[in-house]
Amino acid sequence: MTEENKFIYCSKCGKKSSQDAKFCTNCGNKLITIEDSIKNTTESFKEAIKNNETYKSFTDNTYDEYYRADFDNKDMVNFIQKKSEYYMPKFKDIQESYKS
């Protein structure tokens, strides 16, 4: 550990304190290590994303019968073309899994 890593600086007044100090001896501000600061910021960021309405609109989608493809549709076969014999049974399996 280098000499500089043995100290922590107060975010309020900038005074250097020992790494194990909990409060600044100059102003009384609570001292937070860089690791704790990163952890708190990361958790706050994750919480903000989780509570964001745009994020919710992408992640809270529910299955809607209206958007279900009709797998007997000839347009689907035309769209898939050469691989329709391979994909159509797989799509039907997916469709059946939503029904149960």
The pLDDT of residue 34: 81
25-36 residue pLDDT tens: 999 999 888 888
What is the helix (H) or strand (E) element at residue 13, kind and residue range? Answer: none
Kindly state the average pLDDT of the residues 3-17: 80
- The alpha-carbon radius of gyration of the chain (Å, integer) is 29
Query: CB-hemisphere CA count at 13 Å for 23?
Result: 5
Kindly state the average pLDDT of the residues 29-47: 85
Question: Is residue 4 helix, strand or coil?
Answer: helix
pTM greater than 0.75 (yes/no): no
50-80 residue pLDDT tens: 777 766 666 555 555 555 555 556 777 777 7
Q: Which residues, 6+ apart, have CB-to-CB distance to 91 below 8 Å?
A: 69, 71, 76
Residue-averaged pLDDT of the chain: 76
Sequence letter at residue 68: R
The pLDDT of residue 67: 54
The pLDDT of residue 1: 44
